[in-house]
Structure 1
Amino acid sequence: MENIMVGRQPILDKKENLFAYELLFRSPKNNEIFDGEKATAEVIMNSLESIGLPNLTQNKPAFINFNTKMIKNKIFDILSSDSIYIEILETVEVDEEILSICKELKSQGFKIVLDDFEFKESLIELVKIADIIKIDFLNTTKKVRKETLYLIKSKYNKDVKFLAEKIENYSHLKEAKKFDYDYYQGFYFTKPDIISGRKVEPFKQSYVNILEELNKEYPDFRQIENYIKQDLSMSYSLLRLVNSAAYGYDINSIRQGIVLLGVDKLKKWSLLYSFKSLNSKKPDILLITSLTRAYFAESLKQHLDIDEDLFILGMFSLINAYLDRDLKDVLPLISMKSKFKDALISKEGKLGEVIKIIEIYEKSNWQDLNKYSLDKKAVSNDYLEAIENAEEIFEITY
């Protein structure tokens, strides 16, 4: 299949746990942006046939956009109501046919989601049967948002759930929590919440010692064993990883696990564990995103002709979000190559391009890929593989 380009954006619940993903599609071919009908068809077919829906959504529900033609053509007949939320775009003109089809969808068990919602009289009957209404926090005022919630809950649908989308900063999130939104979506969850005067929490010394030892030409595995044994939860995590089906070992000692995993896998595991321990209040999706970035960065070195271990570059690209501080404040605390630190801050040079390409995939800004000489199909496949690898290692370790 030509240039599979499926993006995904996480949707979190009130506790900031992963609830679902919204799936997005664009084509980078000739800078083409498909219309809604073709885009949705591509999302569905790519997801179901080529990529695999569970791989994309971590077995969570998938929100998929539907425009007027897609609804009237009943493309959803090939989908399962257990895994798909029908997201009706704001461009859909609600007539009797659309309303009848949506009622049919409800009877089949599908959930109806109204995207970029702005109240209109013509939408009242659809509002009455909607399961989720998405409110855009960038393109509406606080006053309008408040009035919309009150009007719908008090007059038209007291059971509907509200999703705050395009949450870009802490004030957005604070408002969404205050007015009891059920779900959140936006890039805020991969950005730091910078609060003046907050202490920068460094890595535990044991994590620093392990990473420094692993970066030596001839690591002392006995010393690494001692560091790990000092932390009971770390010891448990290592044994759980090595004994998992993914590795197929059956061991009972830390030293045996260290030897079996080897330096490369130990580095990845120790980074994962240390990140998880940095800030337990952060949503798990941040850790999964960090891991995805790490695996994707690792794959990009072959496309950009870079002779460096880029796993650590991708992983640490979100360290500021974990510690809620600016990268310029955080990076001096970390033992890392200076050129990596420079790239993370400036996003310049070949290493900076790695970060830019990662962000393009996260935000589904496919047209920006035309700035780079890349095999888009191969890179996209690597991105999807990075998602799988990240979620697999996360599930095993936690």
Structure 2
Amino acid sequence: MITDLVEQPDDYPRVKEFFLARQPILNHHEDVIAYELLFRRARTGPADVVDDLSATASVIAHASELGIGNVIGGSLGFFNVDAAVLDCDFVNFLPSDKVVLEILETVKVTPALVARVAELSEQGFVFALDDVVCQDAALQPLLPFVKIVKIDITGMDKTALSSLASYFKVRKKLLLAEKVETVEQFHACLEIGFDYFQGYYFARPVVLSGKKLAPSQLVILSLMALIDSDADTFDIEQTVKKEASLSMNLLRLANTPGLGVTTRIESLGQALAVLGRRQLKRWLQILMYAEHGKGGHFSSPLLQLATTRGKLLELIAEQLHPGERCMADKAFTVGVMSLMDTLLGQSMEQILVQVPVVDEVRDALLHRKGFYGDLLKLVEYIERLEQTGAMLLPTMNKLDLSIEDLYALQLRAFDWSNSISRGI
């Protein structure tokens, strides 16, 4: 029993012995509204569900150490739970208004479970059913206390999916499609009437021949090229002024808490002076994604993913090579630029013609080679923890990075990414 583990702290797994991932959950506008938080025990073998639930219980028991606000920002957090986890009093350590408790499909529905779910629901907790694939009569007692139904769409044809969705829709449940891996699947689920979507379809590159970039994107690419060619500051400022929205966003970014500026920046010239060319280049990389989002908000999942990748790679490089500012900058560039093929609908080769980068960065972006390529593979493995978790330890061992260090750096990267969202 997990409750027994809590009574034996010496045997109880520490939070930092587990890998942490957050997977974005989107609404029908493709805005990020929540994250599912996944915790997997460090291992090289196949996943063990019991270990994973023990990880979840450990994190809940140490909720203050996790710093849930740092991880999810202003969004909701989804947690996997079973009967043993729900029976533990430390579930109440979680803020009921910030979490959704996912009851796993492996959980046996008993009168005791239903009573506990009803009790927690009365306390304000929101529940979801996880990995639903059919109309299961055994779930009926839980339905009055469940708000969200997560349907695994893997291998399910549209007719069967539509029928299952209708079954829960008439019972006034919100539907979440999980394992959405292609844009076509997203549109099919949208047409059926799903409310939320989980999966990395939004990060899959789709090259569109003849696609024209937005004027603001062209200006940003031009500015990045100017910086790389060491152009005059006057030329850079005049180029920025060609795009009013870019000027406004740069002023906003120059005033973000994440930058550490203590006095308000009022003019474009001040912003450029305060940022400096190194910072200007990284903010331009971020703004490329912000321009893509609705109204420049941080609701874009690509923006969230790119800023998290960039910051985490930078922090890892700083950890492994302290004092090597140039290496940290290259790592940040690799992380942020790794999704630009998806953002722009162009191949990475085409993008690198327009935005010159050093060979090490090019090798990482095109071939996942070298030190920076290993860093990029590491964050990609983390994002798909369920599928690629077994690759994490070998990659970390190659980099000489500990689980504890990775965990701490992730929290800092999530917090920084969330702080950027409030400045855009």
How big is the shift at 1:4?
A: 5.4
Corresponding residue number in structure 2 for 1:380: 407
Q: Distance in 1 between matches of 2:140 and 2:210?
A: 46
Instruction: Using the TM superposition, give the Cα deviation of residue 111 of structure 1 relative to its aligned residue in structure 2, in angstroms.
Output: 1.1
Change (3 A) 1:279 1:200: farther
**Pick aligned residue for 2:417 from 386, 390, 394:** 390
User: Which deviates further from its counterpart, 138-147 or 61-70?
Assistant: 138-147
> Do the aligned residues in 2 keep the contact of 1:6 with 1:43 (CA within 8 Å)?
no
Contact 2:228 2:356 in 1 (8 A): no
2:150 corresponds, among 134, 138, 152, to 134
Q: In 1, are the aligned partners of 2:78 and 2:99 still within 8 Å (CA)?
A: yes
Structure 1 position 340 matched with structure 2 position 361: yes
- The count of corresponding residues between Structure 1 and Structure 2 is 391
Change (3 A) 1:325 1:138: farther
The runs of 5 or more residues in structure 2 that have no matched partner are 1-13
Whole-Å separation in 1 of the counterparts to 2:78 and 2:347: 33
Q: 1:100 to 1:339 in 2, by over 3 A?
A: same
Q: 1:71 to 1:331 in 2, by over 3 A?
A: same
- The Cα RMSD (Å) is 2.6
Return the alpha-carbon distance in structure 2 between the equivalents of residues 194 and 42 of structure 1: 43
Within the alignment, does 1:166 sit opposite 2:193 as a pair? no
SS state of the match for residue 96, structure 2? coil
Q: In the TM superposition, what is the alpha-carbon distance from 1:169 to its structure 2 partner? A: 0.5
Structure 1 residues 101 and 345: CA distance shift in structure 2, 3 A: same
- Per-residue Cα deviation, 1:54-107 (whole angstroms, up to 9, x for no partner): 111112111111112112335423322211111100000001111111122222
Deviation at 1:162, TM superposition (A): 0.4
Q: Does 1:316 find its partner at 2:337?
A: yes
Deviation at 1:134, TM superposition (A): 0.4
Gaps of 5+ in 1: none
Relative distance call for 1:194 and 1:214 in structure 2 (3 A) is closer
Deviation sequence 1:188-235 (CA, Å, 0-9, x none): 12113455x45253874432342233335x653222222222222222
Aligned to 1:208: 221
Write the distance in 2 (CA, Å) between the matches of 1:205 and 1:160.
Answer: 44
**1:199 maps to which residue?**
211
State the AA in 2 paired with 1:83. Answer: K
Counterpart-to-counterpart distance in 1, 2:316 and 2:166: 48
In 2, Cα distance between the equivalents of 1:244 and 1:146? 45
Counterpart Cα distance in 2 of 1:256 and 1:326: 35
Instruction: State how far apart, in whole Å, the 2-side matches of 1:264 and 1:328 are.
Output: 23
Q: 1:162 and 1:229 mapped to 2: Cα distance?
A: 45
For residues 240-251 of structure 1, the aligned pairs below 5 Å read: 240-245=252-257, 246-251=260-265
Partner residue in 1 for 2:20: 6
Which residue matches 1:87? 102
Percent of aligned pairs sharing the same letter = 27
- Quote how far apart the aligned CAs of 1:128 are: 3.7
* Aligned counterparts, 1:86-235, within 5 A: 86-118=101-133, 119-154=135-170, 157=171, 159-194=172-207, 197-199=209-211, 201=213, 204-216=217-229, 220-235=232-247
Deviations 1:238-258 (A, max 9, x none): 222334454222233222222
Match of 1:362?
383
Q: Which runs of 4+ in 1 moved over 4 A?
A: 29-34, 202-205, 278-283, 302-307
Shift of 1:263: 2.2
Partner Cα separation in structure 1 for residue 343 and residue 278 of structure 2: 23
Greater alpha carbon shift after TM alignment, 218-227 vs 309-318: 218-227
Aligned equivalents of 1:368 and 1:194: distance in 2?
A: 28
Summarize deviations over 1:246-275 as a string: whole Å, max 9, x none.
Answer: 422223322222212222221121222233
Contact 2:292 2:300 (8 Å CA) reproduced: no
How many Å separate the matches in 2 of 1:260 and 1:56?
A: 29
> Which is worse superposed, 231-240 or 60-69?
231-240
2:370 maps to which of 341, 349, 356: 349
Match of 2:310 in 1: 294
**TM-score (ref. length: structure 2):** 0.84
User: How far did residue 356 of structure 1 move?
Assistant: 0.4
Give the Cα separation in 1 of the matches to 2:29 and 2:169: 22
Paired with 1:263 and 1:59, the residues of 2 have a C-alpha distance of 31
Residue 60 of structure 2 corresponds to residue 44 of structure 1: yes
**Letter paired with 2:394:** K
Deviation track 1:145-191 (CA, whole Å, cap 9, x = no partner) reads 2221223334xx1x111000010002210111111101000011211
Q: 1:209 to 1:240 in 2, by over 3 A?
A: same
Q: Which residue of 1 aligns with 2:4?
A: none
Once residues 123 and 335 of structure 1 are traced to their aligned partners in structure 2, the CA distance between those partners, rounded to angstroms, is 56
- SS of aligned partner of 2:422: helix
Partner of 1:239: 251
The letter for the 1-side match of 2:372 is L
Asked whether the 8 Å contact 2:165–2:194 carries over to 1, the reply is: no
Q: Structure 1 residues 80, 204: closer, same or farther in 2, change over 3 A?
A: closer
